[in-house]
């Protein structure tokens, strides 16, 4: 103990022991706070990653829907008729002969 005083030893012990306990438990408390903060920030990063994945899935689905809509809005019957007319005409032969004439000259 410290210096002898007129105060009862039990009283001084009842005051000093909680102080010692607080000093002894401070490292554990601070580590507990650090672990809680780390767990919370890790949880938030996982939540942000999941939200970003959901946003990307929504955007990709919208892009796919737009592409399918574009495919369905094309007039494929008219395109196929025009293509068959071009193939049945003498246009490819004429273009090929013009190309050979140009290469020769």
Question: pLDDT by residue (tens digit) across 28-86?
Answer: 888 999 999 999 999 999 999 999 999 999 999 999 999 888 877 777 666 777 777 76
Most confident of 8-12, 30-34, 99-103: 30-34
Rounded CA gap, 73 and 60, in Å? 20
Residues whose CB falls within 8 Å of the CB of residue 10, separated by 6 or more in sequence, listed in order: none
pLDDT of 1 higher than 60: no
pTM over 0.75: no
Q: Can you give the pLDDT at residue 4?
A: 67
Rounded CA gap, 24 and 17, in Å? 10
Domain boundaries along the sequence of the chain:
9-60
């Amino acid at each position: 103990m410290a210096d002898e005083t007129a105060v009862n030893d039990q009283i001084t012990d009842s005051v000093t022991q909680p102080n010692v306990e607080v000093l002894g438990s401070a490292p554990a408390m601070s580590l507990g706070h650090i672990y809680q903060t780390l767990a919370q920030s890790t949880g938030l990063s996982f939540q942000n990653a999941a939200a970003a994945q959901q946003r990307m899935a929504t955007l990709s689905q919208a892009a796919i829907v737009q592409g399918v809509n574009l495919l369905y809005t094309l007039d494929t019957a008219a395109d196929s008729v025009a293509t068959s007319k071009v193939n049945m005409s003498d246009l490819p032969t004429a273009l090929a002969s013009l190309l050979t004439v140009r290469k020769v000259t």
